[in-house]
Chain A
């Protein structure tokens, strides 16, 4: 099985978007927790630090996964590595 340049480019793009989304995941999780006390002095639907951990970060997680699925399914088409006929 020989991979073409195009195939390698697909994988590079996949790695890049995975990296970017993981960085976002890291920020809304660990950076947010680290500064939770400080964030609480900002008021956004309640103290921001509490709000993020209880709800805000969760919304970002859902969006991250939604975006990844949409983005990758498009990328599959673009690089001709999608499965079967489209529905």
Chain B
């Protein structure tokens, strides 16, 4: 494509997306006016849900294509700025949008591992990978491995790795879609999943990477606007300065720290009130502990005796002259919920004991890194470092992200595009810690100390909607809220910010639309990665290299459909720990891909055997450690060096590098063609250069 048309294209894009942003803001204002006119919230929620999904489907429809390079790499004409926005949307998932600020609220400094890991990884992408992949210029990550290492075995391991990590990750996204649609429209979780899925499919089905790219740009704009408005408003309301990223540190954190000290100091009125609640929790922990000890000694007999006691209590309450209905109901519920067998009883009582112990402990200081005794602190520090490393290296290895750098027009733009990517991601990630602090200040200052008779409106609203997000109980019966009486779910922070800031419901709808955009855009990119790895690398490159274009695209679209339905099906089974799934994807990608990718560019001597050994060692060690230590698999082997299973990449990455080095050194160096190939990817332009781009 000539320079002039590309410039024209860029100018048009800027025009279109400016109009689009204006149109979207107008839409929000109209919905806001409808709200003032008295349209019910549920209708407003539907309007946001269907308007945005229709919009994405419309963009997908306009970008439909039957050309291979448009389908796989958006025609390689996405300007750096727009590729940056698309990468931002591709990158920021439901977890980043809805969960991040809450994680930071709950774990303070120790939650920052995610903030650092999910941004700093882009330094590795920029310095070690993106420009070289762009120069290579084909379609997928396994493509690079297959060509550089002259064999279909690394390609195949690459396909397997790409599928494993993208699939675990996509389940988390579809789950997020289901949660958001069901919360804001009242649709059932399963229905929500399929409505969202329809939006994803129309888009990627018709236009592949081209449609996904232009939709992701649109989704980025919605998600960043939706994230910023409530936080800026909250900062302005509390401090008069609409820059949350500064006032959180100058105003918010000192206030939070001062209150933490009061809560932990029994001589102050607030500290004394907290202490009275903690004493009750200490008693509960002791009671649970006594039950556990009794269970260990008495087994099933003890369990039966305990149940009898509860039943006797029900009978006694009922027999009273004037039975207290509420007390009877509570006692009957206790009998009904009583654990059925010793194993369940042990799990339930251990959870009760740990929960009560956590509530009885002093408040952890928000800004203090690795709090606890010296041993606990050292363990936390080690795990923090390991997690940051795995998330960063994983970022530089996840195929759905690296694939995006094939779509820029040149190496130069690929480098600039990594900058724009991180810049757009940074806008959200440096706001999340600020939001965590501002929300904490609001809870510590306004909610704690208010009377149960007059709770802030947002607290009682959310406590009525969802107990897992907000539960508040007068434990010590003094009529006043203490911190230890509040239980918050992390997702609450982002979802409730508009109400905390006193904004109308339309902004809550906007936040839901933003969360939906974050989940859909990531799911789009991931599904496309899986379908492309199968259709391009397995079908076209390995099974039928003479397949005509029409059939290649048909196979890809068919696979997309199959994978999407399969992912939705697995999601509807509601598999456990979503956060672990996401973390596992990073460790797996880091261990499997990073060593082979980096050595492929920076070490000419790396060869076929090295790649095969490196990738299989890396993946093997990582999966072995997860299997042995993650409780889900029920092996529960002792940890190596106290490292949590989510960071198993800490062992997988070195294993991968050792594999590449040993394998390469014990076999012959790669051919002259491959050495030339390495030079080809190292220089953006060489005279008499070979051509590796597919078309």
Contact = CB atoms under 8 A, between A and B. Distances in A.
B430 A81 contact: no
A82 B686 contact: no
A46 B127 contact: no
Given A29-B392, A37-B370, A82 B684 contact: yes
Given A37-B369, A50-B109, A57-B120, A1 B689 contact: yes
A64 to B, nearest CB: 5
Interface residues on B, range: 35 or more
B115 A33 contact: no
Nearest to B683: A81
A83 B419 contact: no
Interface string A57-86: 111011011101100110010000111110
Interface string A13-50: 01000100110010001100110110010000111011
Interface in B82-133: 109, 112, 115-116, 119-120, 122-124, 126-128, 131
B21 to A, nearest CB: 23
Contact of A34 (B3, B385, B422, B690): B385
A75 B422 CA distance: 22
Contacts of B410: 83-84
Interface residues of A, number: 45
Given A54-B115, A62-B419, A34 B381 contact: yes
Given A11-B682, A87-B3, A61 B123 contact: yes
B433 interface: yes
Contact of B7 (A36, A54, A87): A87
A15 to B, nearest CB: 8
Interface string B1-33: 001000100000000000000000000000000
A75 B293 CA distance: 71
Contacts of B250: 45-46
A30 B131 CA distance: 25
A36 B369 contact: yes
B385 A33 contact: yes
A45 B388 contact: no
Contacts of B128: 18
Contacts of A69: 126, 412, 415-416, 418-419
Interface in B653-692: 676, 679-680, 682-686, 688-690
B653 to A, nearest CB: 14
Given A29-B388, A36-B109, A40-B367, A68 B115 contact: no
Interface in B233-275: 245-246, 249-250, 253-254
A69 B410 CA distance: 12
B169 interface: no
A65 B370 contact: no
Given A21-B127, A66-B419, A33 B388 contact: yes
Contact of A62 (B367, B384, B423): B423
B120 A29 contact: yes
B422 A62 contact: yes
B134 to A, nearest CB: 10
Contacts, number: 152
B467 to A, nearest CB: 30
B430 A55 contact: yes
A25 to B, nearest CB: 4
A40 B676 CA distance: 50
A62 B424 CA distance: 10
Interface in B384-416: 384-385, 388-389, 392, 410-412, 415-416
Contacts of A51: 249
Contacts of B3: 84-85, 87
A64 B423 CA distance: 11
B422 A61 contact: yes
Interface string B413-446: 0011011001100100110011000000000000
B415 A68 contact: yes
B412 A55 contact: no
A61 to B, nearest CB: 5
A73 B415 contact: yes
Given A62-B422, A87-B3, A21 B679 contact: no
Given A68-B126, A76-B684, A50 B385 contact: no
A14 B601 CA distance: 13
A85 B109 CA distance: 48
Contacts of A68: 126-127, 415
A54 B426 contact: no
Contacts of B377: 37
Contact of B123 (A7, A64, A72, A84): A64
A83 B684 contact: yes
B368 interface: yes
Interface string B214-234: 000000000000000000000
A53 B436 CA distance: 14
- Most A-side CB within 10 Å, residue of B109, B381, B423: B109
A54 B120 CA distance: 12
Contacts of A14: 682
A85 B127 CA distance: 24
B4 to A, nearest CB: 10
Nearest to B257: A47
Contacts of B112: 50, 53-54
Residue among B3, B369, B680 with the highest chain A CB neighbour number at 10 A: B369
A83 B7 CA distance: 16
A53 B384 CA distance: 11
A46 B418 contact: no
A42 to B, nearest CB: 12
B245 to A, nearest CB: 7
Best-buried of B7, B131, B370, B389 by chain A (most CB within 10 Å): B131
With most chain A CB atoms within 10 A of its CB, the pick from B109, B433, B683 is B683
A1 B692 CA distance: 14
19 contacts: A11-B682, A11-B683, A25-B127, A30-B388, A33-B385, A33-B388, A36-B381, A40-B369, A45-B249, A46-B253, A53-B116, A54-B115, A55-B430, A64-B123, A66-B419, A68-B126, A81-B684, A83-B412, A84-B410
Interface of B: 3, 7, 109, 112, 115-116, 119-120, 122-124, 126-128, 131, 245-246, 249-250, 253-254, 366-370, 377, 381, 384-385, 388-389, 392, 410-412, 415-416, 418-419, 422-423, 426, 429-430, 433-434, 676, 679-680, 682-686, 688-690
Given A33-B116, A46-B254, A54-B434, 9 more contacts: A25-B120, A30-B389, A34-B385, A50-B366, A66-B419, A82-B684, A83-B684, A83-B685, A87-B3
